[in-house]
Amino acid sequence: MLSINASDMAGRFCECGCLLDPQSNVCPGCGEGVRQVRRTSGKMAAPTRKEPVGEEKVEAERPPFFPYKPRPSQVEIVHAVQDAMDRGKHLVMESGTGTGKTICSLVGALQHAKANKKKVLYLTRTISQSDQVMKELRSISRRQRVSGLAMQGRRRSCLLLRTLEEFEDIPPHALSRICEERKSRTLAKQRGGCPHFADFLAIGEMSFLKYCADELPTAAEFDRFCEKQGACPYEARKAIVPLVDVVAVPYVQVLSKEIRSQLFDRLQLTMDDVVMIVDEAHNLIDAARDQESFDISMRDIEAAEEEAKDLGNPRLVTGVDHRTLCATLRRIIDDAVREQVPRNAYEARLGRRFLEGKLRSELKLDDEELHSMCANMVGIGEKQVELRLEQGKEPTSATLRLGSLLENWFRAEDSRFVKLVSSDDLGSLKACCMDPQETTSFLREVKGVVHMSGTLQPLKQYADILDLPADRELRIFPSPFPPENRLVLYAEDVSAGQREMREDPTMKARIEDHIIRICQATDRNTMVFFRSYEMLRTMRPRIEEMIDRPLYWEESGASRRLASSIQAFKRGRGGVFFTVMGGKVAEGLDFPGQELDIAVIVGLPYPPPSLLLDELKQRYDRKYGPGRGWDYASAVPAVRKVQQAVGRLIRTETDRGVAIILDNRMARYREHVGAVPTKDPVAELTGFLGWSKRF
């Protein structure tokens, strides 16, 4: 018999406990390279393991789903995201430029979701953000197979509605009812059904699921794929969304209780079955307020009056017909504008239950009759929409819109809303949501949420306003890009505040002089961010006359022209783009390399004075302590917008750029932005970037 002593045996076992094959360098048990247990002084000793270094170390630390060579900060973010979701917590994080917050959050969330059989809901504000999600999922899928889908609402993706000119005024529940009625006709093989739903049924969901799994398309790409086959993109999404790993969802689809309920019904999941990522989270609070705010304008009433003629002036409740209600509403708003709005203002706050009281008094109705009147109005409007759709006309109804607005007004609680009368738009009643916590309360039900943005400080303010759980985690991950590549200055000799400009008649010209000198000093791409469209408009004539470079201008509401101007600016060299802080250009667009070298920021974009702002400050003071109102309602939003504008400069590791803030009030917030004072912006600009003046 072959004799094997103890020392021989010790050398033939891996440290995992498996016997090694003498002819192999790989352990059959753990699959690792040979890690033999060695004997020292007659005792079993732990092996000496060689620590990975360099590229080997980077690869060893790479998270399983991470598709690129990770930076150390990215590994840290992935772990933070996964850990928060593993513990069912809320992570509120500011993630600086270059940290790759989209890919890091997706990887961390997927690693948790895959292990726990959950779905990732990625909340986006814009379509372009959902496109980025799908592009990152393509990269992840090359390493670990994943699937995803970018959602769009019925208005954007319904092929039938696209053939009609006007459908914006139809409430979601009415669109849903129209759609269901058309589909039922299709299923019953009756006339008047939806041909696109019929084509979807004929093709079957598996074709769309395969395309989605193979291509991970953006929202527009998925729509085009469906449209080529004549199938309804909306129905295709509904069918396959329960089968994918990641769903990119616009804010509105989760902030609206009705749409959110429909989404979760389609997903066949509860809040316990999902984790969420809130992208560009600094926009969520305003988006939630906007979701609930609305107004009843004189134009709404006029349109409903016109429609009353076609409807035969139907009775709404005993003693009140359609035209009587419209005439009464018109008179109530006219009187309120004349009697309550001060001469030097355009709006006034209304008393508690103002409209209800006026309608009860003038129409001789009680509360129950008021609610019946609105419900009947909505019912009449829905029938009108269905009739117009059958006739091939635009499925709109001013009666449905006005009835729905009145229902919303009566439901809007005084504790959460401020109600105003405004002289704008021929007169209107406005219900403005002040407290979004009811709208966002669903977030607290989710076990694992990441709230992230490149500009979210102070994190506590965000968490306070959303009333996030007390065990939320607040983290800041700074940009990994070299700080010496960016210079942020603020001019000491000018202030772009409204009061300062009124008190000093020379201030406007001095600010214009700074802009002109900066732009004339270089031939590199420059972007000028104004605090408002009004300031841009008033300064444009002299700037346009004095600057000898290609000039591009953002104009309010001109979205198509804006897109072409941005492309021309990015492709060219030596241009100057004039825009506003908080607009489409200042947030969400990248200008890497020499597409942007200089950012000029004109003024601090504090919200303009208003009754709503005053109310918001008072509420914050009462809830969070004296002085918090100004910080939370005015200072924080303004500084965030400045940070977003500055953030356009440095988008890659090699980018260099200068931001010049033309407002000495920046001294209050210099640490937040990393700004330093200057008496000569042009000299410091050219000195930092090594350029000579052109003139």
**For the chain, what percent of residues have pLDDT higher than 70?**
88
The most confident of the ranges 31-45, 273-287, 584-598 is 273-287
pLDDT surpassing 60 at residue 10: no
What are the domain boundaries of the chain?
1-50, 152-242, 298-433, 485-689
Say if residues 605 and 669 touch (Cβ distance below 8 Å): no
Q: What is the mean pLDDT of residues 106-131?
A: 93
What is the band of 360 on the pLDDT scale with cuts at 50, 70, 90? Answer: very high
What is the band of 447 on the pLDDT scale with cuts at 50, 70, 90? Answer: very high
pLDDT of amino acid 472:
96
Give the architecture-level CATH label for domain 152-242: Orthogonal Bundle (1.10)
Phi, psi of 522 (to 5 degrees): -135, 170
Q: What is the mean pLDDT of residues 435-459?
A: 91
pLDDT of amino acid 431:
96
Say if residues 139 and 294 touch (Cβ distance below 8 Å): no
pLDDT of amino acid 562:
80
What residues are paired with 420 via a beta bridge? 349, 430
CA dihedral 183, 184, 187, 189 (to 10 degrees): -100
How many C-beta atoms surround the C-beta of residue 117 within 10 A? 7
pTM for the whole thing? 0.83
pLDDT of amino acid 172:
67
Among left, alpha and beta (phi > 0; psi -120 to 50; other), residue 483 is: alpha
List, for residues 567-624, the tens digit of each pLDDT value. Answer: 899 888 899 999 999 877 777 677 877 888 999 999 999 998 899 999 999 999 998 8
pLDDT of amino acid 30:
47
**How far is Cα of residue 267 from the mean position of the Cα atoms in its chain?**
22
pLDDT of amino acid 523:
87
The fold adopted by the segment(s) 485-689 is Rossmann fold (3.40.50)
pLDDT surpassing 70 at residue 511: yes
pLDDT surpassing 70 at residue 33: no
pLDDT of amino acid 557:
60
pLDDT of amino acid 22:
53
pLDDT of amino acid 430:
96
For the ranges 173-182, 344-353, 424-433, 443-452, the lowest mean pLDDT is seen at: 173-182
3-state SS of 180-232?
A: HHHHHHHHCCCCCCCHHHHHHHHHCHHHHHHHHHHHCCCHHHHHHHHHHCCCC
pLDDT of amino acid 11:
44
pLDDT surpassing 60 at residue 52: no
pLDDT of amino acid 289:
93
Among the four given CATH numbers 1.10.275.40, 2.40.100.10, 1.10.150.240, 3.40.50.720, the one describing domain 298-433: 1.10.275.40
pLDDT surpassing 70 at residue 44: no
pLDDT of amino acid 211:
94
Calpha distance 690→695 (Å, rounded)? 15
Q: Which two tokens stand for residue 433?
A: 């949501």
pLDDT surpassing 80 at residue 294: yes
pLDDT surpassing 70 at residue 250: yes
pLDDT surpassing 50 at residue 694: no
For the ranges 322-336, 370-384, 550-564, the lowest mean pLDDT is seen at: 550-564
pLDDT of amino acid 184:
87
H helices within 268-392, ranges in order?
284-292, 298-311, 322-340, 354-363, 367-390
pLDDT of amino acid 24:
54
List, for residues 520-534, the tens digit of each pLDDT value. Answer: 998 889 999 999 999
pLDDT of amino acid 36:
43
Question: Average per-residue pLDDT in the chain?
Answer: 86
Peptide bond preceding 458 in cis form (omega within 30 of 0): yes
pLDDT of amino acid 17:
46
Q: Which two tokens stand for residue 435?
A: 């407290």
For the ranges 244-258, 433-447, 558-572, the lowest mean pLDDT is seen at: 558-572
